[in-house]
Structure 1
Amino acid sequence: MKPCWFENDDIPINILSRLPAKTLHRLKYVSEEWLNLISNRSFITSQLRKTEPVSGFFFQEVFQWTDDESIESISYIPVDVDNVNVWRNVFDFLPEYIVIMSLNNGLLCCRSCFPSSHPRIYVCNPLNKQWTSLQWPNISQTSNVALAFNPFQNPVDVSTRFKLVAVSDIENGEDEYCFVFDIYSSETGLWRRSKECCVCNHNLTKNKGVLVNGILYWLTDGYQILMFDPENEFSLLVTAPLPETEFSGIPEMCIGEWQGEVCYVIISEDGLQLWVLEDHFASQWELRISISLENLEKENSNVLYKISEKVASRLCKDTPAWMDPLSFKDGVLLIRVSANVYLYRFDTRSMKKLCDVSTLGPTSMFYPIVVPYTMSLVPLD
């Protein structure tokens, strides 16, 4: 790479590093000097210290009753524009159709669509369209693979290092199941099975591996959250802040991250609540925000109507929830209300319609894969 004409001048570097990744990606085309600077790993490391806002959400349908066949289409729903248009073909730079697995710090983990004779796992950066791949390991195709990439614990000034954690559900005796963890390191290029296992008779659902402070969390369908620390290799089941017996109807929830804290968003007859995990060993939560359904409707009367009776009317899990929190990141909640998808901001307590559910596909009502996306310049070459 050619030297940059101002690489020894701290002023332009200090100014440019404050800009968002989306703007910097466009500025690379101004000149060769700007390209060299913005592509420099030291500059990228400096720019990563800036908090990036959520730029959108990736949305992918799944077939409700089978894991043997994947839906190829993926939608990108931007949130930082006035007139929202759902984007297609975001991943056309990859050599095949993929299924989203997890995303953090601007990097996405995905896999080949099943069925596939030679399935692969991809780690890519959708902004700069760089990617790397590896063969699918010798684990079940139903395993959930999460990306553990933290540029603050593993700086990208020399290389981009990451780990993958594959969670598999295996039988551990009569009527008992447990989760086991296979770990891949980009430094060694090898998979190995951790000695750690976690007894659990529930399934993973929604939010594909949320990474918070280097620890991975998965929501289960049993009012518990699976936690795994890939560095120290220990796991734990964190009890949800509210037990199932607390509700008369069926609540809907998702997990996410906000300012380095694990968050649990739940919608029930008690309203919209945001809980923050204070101690995962003790399953101790703090109720940070609570908004009654009546106030939620009053504050957003242009889009909500009689939500109390509609939320309370759902008594069977086989029917889609009327209000479903799909994904959460940094105070921004993607939520489906009936046949529409909205963005809810906790700071302003306001809702904005993004699109109709029908634009996302015919099976988009039933437990889609939804991950929040924040852009980054992190290279994979």
Structure 2
Amino acid sequence: MNQTQCMIFEILDEEEEEADLESHDLHGITLTDFDTPHTMKATIGSAADGLLLLYPNADDPETSVYICNPVTREYISLCRPKEYNCWSCFQFCASKVSEQYKVVYLGRTLESDSFQVYTLGTGLWRPIETGAASGFKFNSNERAVCNGNLHWIVDDFDQLSIRICGFDAETECFSIFSAPQGFPMDGDVESNVKLTNFRDCLCVCYT
């Protein structure tokens, strides 16, 4: 079987390397490396509490999705939902309450977005209602995990504005909230907006 090697490294802590940060001289320490179970020319990945979600950016619906433990180098494979298409994507999260790991599938078509959830250990995909997120268009490239919950930037076409959608990993419910006060809404904002997690806080960065 063809394989691709992955490497995980850690950027040294800010307080331990203050002098290097001031000189913009960051250092990385290799934690582990491992082989993925297949060749992935374009690999999409996300992490949740020490586990990695990996899947190739491929049109083949038979290509599996993998959950990998980079420390033990063990992995399991998940079949893709039957509705999978090349515009779809997967996200990974872990509930802080039940500690269950969940893979969230975002199915995209020209008409609408739909969601399914795979809880590790159950062996099946379950459709879930979008609820409050119904009618919004998800930007699958701009997402972040904060406190175990998923977040995306979404378009509100009715109000011609950008919102943020949160997915609660425990209740599997969606919520919509506005961007921070003072957020510029003119021009092509979406292409310059990034979501990230900074010290357990959801951050919106824009230029």
Same fold by TM-score greater than 0.5? yes
Aligned length: 181
SS at 1:181 equivalent: strand
Partner of 1:149: 94
The Cα offsets for residues 118-158 of structure 1, whole Å up to 9 and x where unpaired, read as: 210111122332211111111233222111224x4345xxx
Question: How far does residue 248 in structure 1 lie from its aligned partner after superposition?
Answer: 9.7
Is residue 62 of structure 2 the alignment partner of residue 128 of structure 1?
Answer: no
Could you say which structure has the greater relative contact order, defined with CA pairs below 8 angstroms and 6 or more residues apart? Answer: 1
Amino acid at match of 2:11: V
Aligned to 1:244: 185
SS of structure 1 residue aligned to 2:58: coil
- Per the alignment, residue 195 of structure 1 pairs with 129
Name the CA distance, whole Å, in 1 between partners of 2:147 and 2:71: 23
Give the conservation status (yes or no) of the 8 Å contact 1:100–1:111. yes
Q: Is the 8 A contact 2:45 2:55 kept in 1?
A: yes
Q: State the Cα RMSD in Å.
A: 3.5
Matches of 1:227 and 1:144 in 2, distance apart?
16
Q: How far off its partner does 1:103 sit?
A: 1.6
2:193 partner amino acid: M
What does residue range 1-381 of structure 1 map to in structure 2 within 5 Å? Answer: 78-80=10-12, 90-91=33-34, 93-98=35-40, 99-116=43-60, 118-141=62-85, 142-150=87-95, 152-154=96-98, 161-170=100-109, 177-197=111-131, 198-200=133-135, 202-207=137-142, 209-220=143-154, 223-241=162-180, 242-245=183-186, 252-267=192-207
Q: Which sections of structure 2, spanning at least 5 residues, go unmatched? A: 18-24, 156-160
In the TM superposition, residue 84 of structure 1 has moved relative to its aligned partner by 5.3
Aligned-pair CA distance for 1:190: 1.1
1:184 to partner: Cα distance: 0.7
Which has a greater percent of helix? 1
Deviations 1:242-275 (A, max 9, x none): 1413x798872311223332111223xxxxxxxx
**Does the 8 A contact of 1:100 with 1:108 survive in 2?**
no
Cα separation, partners in 2 of 1:248 and 1:201, compared to 1, 3 Å: closer
Matching residue's letter, 1:244: M
TM-score with structure 2 length normalisation?
0.68
- Given that 2:163 and 2:177 are in contact with CA atoms closer than 8 Å, whether structure 1 keeps it comes out as yes
Q: Quote the Cα distance in structure 1 between the aligned partners of 2:61 and 2:172.
A: 32
* Distance of 2:5 and 2:116 partners within structure 1: 28
Identity %: 22
Q: 1 CA distance for matches of 2:200 and 2:28? A: 30
What is the rounded CA distance, in whole Å, between the counterparts of 1:106 and 1:238 in structure 2?
Answer: 29
Relative to the length of structure 1, the TM-score reads 0.40
Task: After TM superposition, give the deviation of residue 97 of structure 1 in Å.
Answer: 2.6
Aligned counterpart, 1:24: none
CA distance in 2, matches of 1:112, 1:230: 24
Contact 1:102 1:210 (C-alpha < 8 Å) held by counterparts: no
Query: After superposition, what is the alpha-carbon deviation per residue over 1:306-330, rounded to whole angstroms, capped at 9, x for unaligned?
Result: xxxxxxxxxxxxxxxxxxxxxxxxx
Q: Which has the higher strand share?
A: 2
- CA distance in 1 between partners of 2:124 and 2:144 (Å): 23
Question: CA 1:178 to 1:232, structure 2 compared with 1: closer, same or farther past 3 Å?
Answer: farther
Letter in 1 for 2:195: I
